[in-house]
Structure 1
Amino acid sequence: MSLTPPTPKPARQPSLFSTEAADPVLADLAGLLAGPGEVGRMGGTARISVVVDAAWRVHVLVAELGARGVPASWEPTEDGRHRVRTAYTSMLAPLARAWLRGAVKRPPARFHLDGRRLRLWAAAAGTAEPAGFRLRLGPADEPCWPVVRAALAAVGLPAAFVEPDEGGPAFRVGGRRMSRLAELVGERPVTAPAAEWPGAPG
């Protein structure tokens, strides 16, 4: 039996854009707005809301918002889904100023995505499917889509557009890009079904 100690495996270096690369900040909530999230203003305050299709998404988003110092609540919708929303707070006013042109949502100049923003988008509106992973978009946000698509490509996730009559509007990340997506969004939240998170076995 050899007495030579095994060579230690090199420590994995987190990607510059992954969830491990930085602490949670309010700017991460731009990930919700890249998808179907909405932002509204009232005076010097703002709030963010998003409608989700499963209870596990509610749990994840409330926890993620709380980790950024923003309490959130939820309520059922008439179509059987759930609306997660923050209270109006001055903490979100800068995000609203960056994303709203009047009352219309538009990505700000130099908009970008990273692991924490993608994690929130995946938690709110991501769906695993045989062809890859689908990230749902806001149906009324068509002017935002080219900017968001370019931001996906910039982090190594070129995506195909899914038409509304095929389960969209959404962007689909597939093939060998799935490992990149899994690296960026990080470990599956405890409440998320294994089959609903990037990197989980199919």
Structure 2
Amino acid sequence: MPLNGLDGPSGADPLPALFPVPDTAPPDVVTRSARGPAAAVRAEEPEEAGRQLVFFGAETADPSVADLAGLLAGPAEVVRMGGTARLSVVVDAAWRVHVLVSELGQRGLSATWEPTDDERHAVRTSYTRTLKPLAVAWLDGVAKRPPAGFHLTGRRLRLWLAAAGVAEPPGFLLRLGAADHHCWEPVGRALAAVGLAGDLVGPDAGGPAYRITGRRRLRRLAELVGDRPAAAPPPAWP
């Protein structure tokens, strides 16, 4: 089902249905409380005057193909073919498809999606030379491994959360690739380096995932990933 990633589907194939349909009106400016989800406030109110961009936050840099390392920190996969590469990820909700197709389009990457046999959605890019450096950095043979010096930024975390972040009060889960055992430890160190030290949840306990808990860490996560995308349900975003 081809999509162009910018203006919606090409041809007659629509994105998976959302319910409720996201509001297309300009979103309210928000500030985030340390006690829970973001609380909407109007731009003219005093709280907004004191809001500052967070260093490495999603709002401090332009979208880049390098941001897709955030998807690879989670359950995404990358494969090479000749001088090209393709990134793919299976997600569990239609809103994630909408957000990821939009995010990929912002980086000049066309995407397709299709339903899976287990009622999830597979999102994948086209094979492109643009993704070859990412694949070279992350692949050891066919195995996925974070490159030396791997780190997380707000935009990388935003993509990871959009693909595989799950609200699990009183915390938040960032899901990992089930077969990516060699990635789990370095990804955990990268989380800790940006103030998001989490507990590794094993497969037997509902993982693999990192669980982020604590008022300060959850506020930090919300600051880094930026405002909720219109397609994302409010409870699904920190």
TM bucket, shorter chain: over 0.9
Report runs of 4+ in structure 1 exceeding 3 Å deviation: 7-11
The alpha-carbon deviation at position 8 of structure 1 amounts to 9.9
* Aligned-pair Cα RMSD in Å: 1.5
Given candidates 55, 61, 66, the residue that maps to 2:105 is 66
Moved more, 146-155 or 10-19: 10-19
1:84 corresponds to:
123
Question: Percent sequence identity over matched residues?
Answer: 68
- 1:18-97 equivalence runs, <5 A: 18-97=57-136
Secondary structure, counterpart of 2:127 in structure 1: coil
Given candidates 190, 193, 198, the residue that maps to 2:230 is 190
The alpha-carbon deviation at position 13 of structure 1 amounts to 2.6
2:148 corresponds to:
109
The alpha-carbon deviation at position 16 of structure 1 amounts to 1.5
- Give the distance between the partners of 2:95 and 2:227, measured in 1 at CA: 15
2:218 corresponds to:
178
Q: 1:8-38, CA deviations, whole angstroms, 9 ceiling, x for partnerless residues?
A: 9755331221011100000000000000000
When normalised by structure 2's length, the TM-score is 0.79
1:124 corresponds to:
163
The alpha-carbon deviation at position 130 of structure 1 amounts to 1.2
Q: 1:29-73, CA deviations, whole angstroms, 9 ceiling, x for partnerless residues?
A: 000000000000000000100000000000000000000000111
**Unpaired segments of 5 or more residues in structure 1?**
1-6
- Give the distance between the partners of 1:72 and 1:186, measured in 2 at CA: 23
1:3 corresponds to:
none
**Unpaired segments of 5 or more residues in structure 2?**
1-45
The alpha-carbon deviation at position 137 of structure 1 amounts to 0.3
Q: 1:101-156, CA deviations, whole angstroms, 9 ceiling, x for partnerless residues?
A: 11110000100001000000000000001130000000100111110000000000
- Give the distance between the partners of 1:107 and 1:174, measured in 2 at CA: 24
When normalised by structure 1's length, the TM-score is 0.92
Number of equivalences: 193
Name the CA shift for 1:44/1:192 in 2 (closer, same or farther; >3 Å).
Answer: same
Secondary structure, counterpart of 1:124 in structure 2: helix
